[in-house]
Chains A and B, each alone.
Chain A
Amino acid sequence: MKKEIKKDMKITGRIFKWLVLVISTIFFIYPVIYTLSMSFTSKRAQYFLVLWPLEPTITNYIEAIKRSNILSLYKNSIIVTGATVILVLIVSSMAAYAFARKKFFGSNFFFYLIFLALIIPPISVFIPLLVQLKNYHLINTYWALIFPYTTISVPFATFILRNFFKTIPVEIEEAAKIDGCNDFQIFYRITLPLSKSALGAVTIFTALAWWNEYLFASVFITNNKMQTIPAGIGRIIGTYWMDYTLLSAALIIALIPMLIVYLVFQRTFIKGVVAGAIKG
């Protein structure tokens, strides 16, 4: 008797678990599917859409590409995010190396700096940055975004990399030093190659943070041809809000790149995100 009850409870438990998971899946994926369907729906039928595209058509995509500069947004986002990531990796790995291996005062100071940059939202420096960038004549150049993004990411990346570098056995470096390598060579030939996973995590974390950023991107670069994806989409929303079928096509086009990268590099993605969060 008891065994049967236990078995029933177990089955109910399992059904319950699966139900929750299925409902959650629907919840998390439905909005995207809805937008996807909407992008294939005709203008007349858009008001009745629930799941399956009514009167399927691809004119929305054609119009979206023709009327807005969606495809050039890709290029700009790649440039900005790519340059930011590279710059962050270079600058922060160098700084991390110094903090990991060298003794000099300022370590605690450095710690509080990191704390600041992690916590303080970018909007706190927004207005002066606008003034500064204008004075440096960087507005409407890619640097207007690359420099602020890099600056905000560097402290955290440095922290992660420093912790990682510390786990590299000092003996290897001592051996190299005896062989006559200077600091830079040690850094370049030994430390970096051993840190591939940490560098990968930093890459993912940084790229994800800035690929989707909107506030700076929409204000520091206003030239339509140079805007990144979020800024461009913001503009497209403002221009085409009356035409949701076209807008949804634009939205889908905009979210595809990151989606593909995510699907292809899943494992690295999640590892990078977790590493970033936990170390912080």
Chain B
Amino acid sequence: MKKNFFKQLKEQKNAYLFILPALILFFVFFLYPLFSTFRYSFLDWARSVSPEGFKGIQNYINLFTKDTIFRVSLANNFKLVFVIVLSQITIPVFLALLLDAKLKARAFFRLIFFMPAIISTVIVAAIWKYIFYPNTGLISNFGRILHLDFLNYVWLADERIAIYIIALVMIWQLTGYNMVIYLANLQSIPEEITEAAIVDGANNWQVIRKIKIPLLRPSINIVTTIMTIAVFKLYELIVFITNGGPSHTTNVLTFYLIKRVTTGFHYSYACAIAVILTLIVVVLTIIINQVIFNKKYEMDY
């Protein structure tokens, strides 16, 4: 009996040892800073090397009541979530369905479509910025050649359109990625189901509608979550394509946060923005997974 007990203790010790590095890293470089962000947002920290006193919720009040740029950023983030999620649960699904049938060409198209996802966002931004450049960019040149003068427009200078151009670039970057997820999901659908349906007299379209799409539910869930998080992480595209846009209209939360830090050194204010950003992301993710898709988390067994 004694032997067993000690052995068990020894095993437990090993378990803790195995976990230790992960725990240390996690606490030091993630949990503690996360808590610090929260703490700093209530302190008075601007321009100086370290915080200087208590400020309470003044930062939050300012953000929500007086800060116009914050409101624009928030609105842009939500606009983008809407556009991106909508586009990413339709277009890549469509492409995946197309590729699901073809065997030989599938690898080739998958290769091409996925490629934009592996290019660093900074590079993507630089590439697309010059495509939309007035007078000398690719789109303008197309306009010249095809005699479609409306193409020679200051796309990135239009306050209403600029944010949608960012959305377009994001779609370019991410469609292939999501398509691959859908494709994997489709390919994991057992053939017997579709064959049974065809035997029962269903044509192709019905197979798609009644069987494949419902079975895509898990990956639609995943894609929605990933895309929502991606929109709130959006940063490089804004910096390198519009830099906040024609008079602040393409600001997003991350960009505004960093702007506050680098011009103005308003650290606690920026932390408040970070806290709000984090809360929004967490809440949205929970809503998407629990409420919309009713996903039950598998607990340890």
Contacts and interface: CB of A to CB of B under 8 A. Distances in A.
Given A17-B98, A31-B131, A94-B18, A111 B229 contact: no
B37 A127 contact: yes
Interface in A207-257: 208, 211-212, 214-215, 229-230, 233-234, 237, 244, 247-248, 251, 254-255
B161 interface: no
A121 B18 contact: no
Interface string B193-230: 00000000000000000000000001100100010010
Nearest to B23: A95
Nearest to B187: A274
A66 B12 CA distance: 57
Nearest to B94: A20
Task: Label chain B's interface by main secondary structure.
Answer: helix
A32, A127, A154, A255: most-surrounded residue (chain B CB, <10 A) = A127
A254 B120 contact: yes
Interface residues of A, number: 88
A49 B25 CA distance: 50
Given A28-B116, A211-B120, A151 B18 contact: no
A74 interface: no
Interface string A150-167: 111011001000000000
A111 B112 CA distance: 36
Given A31-B131, A95-B22, A234-B239, 19 more contacts: A20-B98, A28-B116, A49-B141, A91-B22, A98-B18, A111-B299, A121-B278, A123-B274, A125-B30, A125-B34, A132-B36, A148-B29, A229-B120, A233-B123, A237-B122, A237-B126, A237-B240, A273-B181, A277-B222
27 contacts: A24-B113, A28-B115, A32-B127, A104-B15, A107-B300, A111-B300, A119-B281, A121-B232, A124-B275, A127-B270, A128-B37, A132-B28, A150-B25, A212-B120, A212-B121, A214-B122, A215-B236, A237-B126, A237-B240, A251-B123, A251-B126, A254-B120, A255-B123, A258-B118, A269-B118, A277-B226, A278-B218
